[in-house]
Amino acid sequence: MSMDETSFPALTDGESTAGRGPRSIPPSDVSVPTIRGQARDIIESVLDDATPQSEWAREQLRSRMESHPGNPERALLEHLIATRTITDEQTDEPGPHLVPEPTLPSPDLPLPDEDFGATVLFTRRSRRRIESILGDRMLLTAFQPIHELSSRNVIGVEALTRFVSDDGASADHWFNEAAAVGLGPDLEFAALQAALIAAEQLPEHVYVALNLSPATCLDPRLRAFVERSQLPVDRIVIELTERLAEDEYEPVVAALAPLRQRGLRIAVDGAGAGFGSMSQVTLLSPDIIKLDRNMIAGIDRAAGQKTLGAAMVAFARQVGAQLVAEGIETQEELDAVMELGMTSGQGYLLGRPSVQPLEWAAWQTSAEHEASVTGSSGPAT
């Protein structure tokens, strides 16, 4: 659910969730209210779950909170570590498994016992790890701003998932592991729900791009999630994270059609790792085409990239799609994409991912200031 510039280390105690790399934050530092606030939200959601299977988690979490009054993020992290330790121990014990054991291979194709056993153990542990994340709702959401380049107004955000984890695994690692054990859509829906709830605090003029795989787009649960959201459908953008096979286009387009009729938009990567073929972009008729970092990096110095960029600008205009340049990290890159006619962009130069509502509120202030200066009623699009 993320690309090169949107792959971040998991949230660990004492680390920042903003920017490319972690920085040290003293445990008592209260300058990161969002991390603490989201930790409280997660804790409250766990404690509000009255299902019998969650009773143990609720008791343990209450105990951790009593041990660390006023420090919910510490209580949450210790709860996660304790849960992880117990579930890992359970995977080594005999007894019923959460997933069926794989079928033994044919005698004609023998598999070494130790390799087979390792595969089974890995599958069991991976599934328990993902189920622990799902059960305890250990998900946070960061938003990276998408700017209208001429005015620098924030017109949208990309939602990025952060995992409250003790092992430092990246978001990509968690989603790949979930997919490997058949829980990919479940984890994506958990991330989707967290992002939609967090997005309620965003300025009303900002759209939200949510990274989803084709498999999740085909899941009938998606429509219900979107319809139950407090966010208007026309502020939601589904950003496809994987290249589709030839037989997937028609089903995905059909599955999203009812929501698109109500204003939902689709974004794809028009050049780079995700969607290298323009014919694939055409088949999906996206509303937004994103040029990934591989396309933008060094575009000010590469004639070939400039030529391709100019062609993408013309193509986007022809099909009526918004073009977003991703991964803008230098002033020279920004100048180059603007000279080519690209009107929207995101990247570290323009704004790093943030979990802080105070920063999100500043995007509203920026838009209001621009409107007062120009006399317009809203931000440029």
Higher pLDDT, 9 or 78: 78
Q: How much of the chain exceeds pLDDT 70, in percent?
A: 65
Domains of the chain: 4-136 (no CATH), 139-374 (3.20.20.450)
C-alpha distances (whole Å) from 75 to each of 63, 81, 145 are 9, 10, 30
Instruction: Point out which residues pair with 10 in neighbouring strands.
Output: none
Q: Is the pTM of this model over 0.85?
A: no
Q: In this predicted structure, what is the pLDDT of residue 64?
A: 81
Distance in Å from the first CA to the final CA of the chain: 25
CB 296 within 8 A of CB 3: no
Digit-coded pLDDT (tens) for 254-263:
999 999 999 9
Is the Cβ–Cβ distance between 237 and 258 less than 8 Å?
Answer: no
pLDDT at 29: 37
Q: What is the mean pLDDT of residues 237-264?
A: 89
Q: Is 354 helix (H, G, I), strand (E, B) or coil?
A: strand
Q: Which of 8-17, 174-183, 354-363 has the lowest mean pLDDT?
A: 8-17
Dump pLDDT digits (tens) for 317-370. 998 999 999 999 999 999 999 999 999 999 999 999 998 888 888 887 555 555
The most confident of 91-105, 124-138, 241-255, 347-361, by mean pLDDT: 347-361
SS3 269: strand
